[in-house]
Structure 1
């Protein structure tokens, strides 16, 4: 390794259901990204403690050299850290459920990061992420924040505008999940075996090329043929634990691909290409949030309780590595050791997509190093893609306008412009309902 430093990390959102898996991956990666200290921060002490008590046992058994603590005090949390991991959900699952269910009342997509739900979530997230950046800069001014708290595109636009010099990198792991599937389709081990060109916005993008990193072989013909028939569904052992709603999503990529056979789409494009299909196949009373509460959250908190009662983390459910956390460790390693590895990031365009505005927040490949990220040129967006992107990124900018200006009209414009919303009268009904339930979180819109 280039240095023998050990790092201090704080997970902002210690009560997240993803946190235990992330900790296990951090522990497994001590040869690659060694830690001296791990902290949790959350504003919900009770929820965080359920996770933290189990993690305390995991660390004691597997990495006792790492000092572990958890707190609701920002000064304790953000002092003496090298990396901040942003994993917060403002309003928790209660608000996510409303993000999904309110639009469905009016025949509009109910999804946490797209359409009105995604914009509502983004407006809630802005002040919380800005606050975390300010704490980091106050207590650990040399630290980097790796933020994966949604809605990423809106949060990244707020960072660009409100904290332009902050050491924050906004990332998403959905393309990595899809690239792992691409690797399996091509008989390779993982996304690490692929070289690629990708461009778009967060949860709104396309692959222009995919190659075998070792041999340089062009994998696009094989992938296009496969996706045209199966989407990104792999099946077999690979998908044995994949939930039904995700199975439908991966298979629907077949229809998304058919709209532009020159590229391969992000699965989230289904919400923009086929909004009526999505609404017709949704249950307004039982959405993705309900699935999570019944499945992932119940399993995670149940496993944490079991570990605490048993006093041991032997044979825990997270011993199988998770892509989400593995990807974040890869990024931290690249920054810590200045490796200039290529990963995606959401950042100001500045020419990365040659026919998009410089101040657009885009998701493109970047080289990661000690000085942050260096976006790579991806060429021109296709006419079809550029049209979609211009509309979507304008919605995202209008949400940040609404936050800065406390403007009801800007938020209404954002909802009205969005491709998932049929007209302004529907946009107004959704917004008016959302204003009521978001009163504790949104700025007062006038």
Structure 2
């Protein structure tokens, strides 16, 4: 009989929590569970989801213990995996990040540019706090950390908790690979063997092969030059709203810059920042869309489930993007040697790139460990972009550790999304004012 595991979802009040639970429950054959816990420091927000999540768990498997708590000792005692997706400052602070950036004519996005830097300065303390709770109460637990902005958080954990059992991951490549599978005619992204290198939200696919070893990247690029990441018939795409559809279309322009690779679509914010700003509404940003759309929809459905007492006929769906969490936990628990994209210290995997950079590359995951695959040397164009972005991420962590105004000004100045040191300083001063109580006091 397989061992059964206990998991805690840190950031239990996230609207993604119900679909992560649905994904876990749909994969009990792969990863058997004895306990699911929700942990959040915002009790009111977590309570909007907790009763519905408890009903979902009990209807699927009444033997699984369910706990929702704001007490770290209760949350982290006797757990095998922590699934961490915390958002310090929640969506109202994301809205501030986006709108302050756009006010200065700069990309307003939650993980890229000034918004990502501001969010990173908020996130570091929260992630470290959860690592410390985990190590205090369950020292053998693994934290699968997908708290954004993942690149800055990964650099902080590398430097400040170097021996912790933390694996930094991101779900964005899963969404991209689902699109590629649809374009190339596969039923499942796992029918493809991929090669990829880069940083989080900042990378390139260099090979996509079928299981017979046939290289399909040229076919994909030919399609992308015409349609981006959309299918030929856009109505057949799996995009949840117009902004994701626009992102899929924009890949056409990204591929033209290097038609030998296929890019992570987040590169649009760095390479076509002027287009992104021109198509953004400074008064109604992505944060507003999420608050008015996804947040109301998920909280409303959870309230309905709690009221009627059953999750039968629920509109909540399994989060396909969450499948990588189950795959990673299963690989660590049962030595499956799953090949996955992880954010790890480079240590020579990319030959012509700094060893201490946190890069996103394929790794083989087995019992209690992972092994990065060798990438070799990367081209000048990608290397130059990555070196600039890694420097930004390192300066942000420097600024957080040293409480340094200068280092954060340098980080903003160096970001490819910011046009000058003057704009960077004006941005910084506005962001400091907005983030009082969240950032260390800079000097």
TM over 0.5: yes
- The answer to whether structure 1 residue 420 and structure 2 residue 422 are counterparts is no
Distance in 1 of aligned mates of 2:59 and 2:260: 50
Contact 2:221 2:262 in 1 (8 A): yes
Distance in 1 of aligned mates of 2:424 and 2:256: 29
SS in 2 for 1:378: coil
Structure 2 equivalent of residue 59 of structure 1: 57
What's the CA shift for 1:236? 5.2
What's the CA shift for 1:152? 0.5
Distance in 2 of aligned mates of 1:111 and 1:317: 28
Q: What are structure 2's unaligned runs of at least 5 residues?
A: none
- The answer to whether structure 1 residue 403 and structure 2 residue 400 are counterparts is yes
What TM-score, normalized by structure 2, do the two folds share? Answer: 0.98
Q: 2:288 aligns with which of 281, 287, 290?
A: 290
Distance in 2 of aligned mates of 1:6 and 1:237: 42
What's the CA shift for 1:65? 1.2
Distance in 2 of aligned mates of 1:372 and 1:38: 23
SS in 2 for 1:90: coil
Q: 1:375 aligns with which of 365, 372, 377?
A: 372
- The answer to whether structure 1 residue 358 and structure 2 residue 355 are counterparts is yes
Q: What are structure 1's unaligned runs of at least 5 residues?
A: none
Q: 1:118 aligns with which of 113, 116, 119?
A: 116
Distance in 1 of aligned mates of 2:64 and 2:57: 7
Q: Which runs of 4+ in 1 moved over 3 A?
A: 235-238
SS in 2 for 1:295: helix
What's the CA shift for 1:318? 2.5
- The answer to whether structure 1 residue 326 and structure 2 residue 323 are counterparts is yes
Q: 1:181 to 1:380 in 2, by over 3 A?
A: same
Structure 2 equivalent of residue 216 of structure 1: 213
SS in 1 for 2:323: helix
Structure 2 equivalent of residue 226 of structure 1: 223
What's the CA shift for 1:239? 2.6
Q: 2:426 aligns with which of 417, 429, 432?
A: 429
Structure 1 equivalent of residue 301 of structure 2: 303
Moved more, 328-337 or 414-423: 328-337
Distance in 2 of aligned mates of 1:86 and 1:300: 19
What's the CA shift for 1:326? 1.4
What's the CA shift for 1:59? 1.1
Structure 2 equivalent of residue 316 of structure 1: 314
SS in 1 for 2:109: coil
Distance in 1 of aligned mates of 2:321 and 2:370: 19
Distance in 2 of aligned mates of 1:438 and 1:176: 32
Q: 2:387 aligns with which of 383, 387, 390?
A: 390
SS in 1 for 2:143: strand
Aligned residue-pair number: 442
What TM-score, normalized by structure 1, do the two folds share? Answer: 0.98
Contact 2:27 2:326 in 1 (8 A): yes
Contact 1:197 1:209 in 2 (8 A): yes
What's the CA shift for 1:290? 0.8
Contact 1:167 1:372 in 2 (8 A): no
Aligned residues: CA RMSD? 1.0
Distance in 2 of aligned mates of 1:173 and 1:215: 26
Distance in 2 of aligned mates of 1:201 and 1:269: 11
Q: How does 1:115-154 map to 2 (within 5 A)?
A: 115-154=113-152
Moved more, 257-266 or 372-381: 372-381
Moved more, 384-393 or 186-195: 186-195
Structure 2 equivalent of residue 337 of structure 1: 334
Q: 1:265 aligns with which of 241, 263, 266?
A: 263
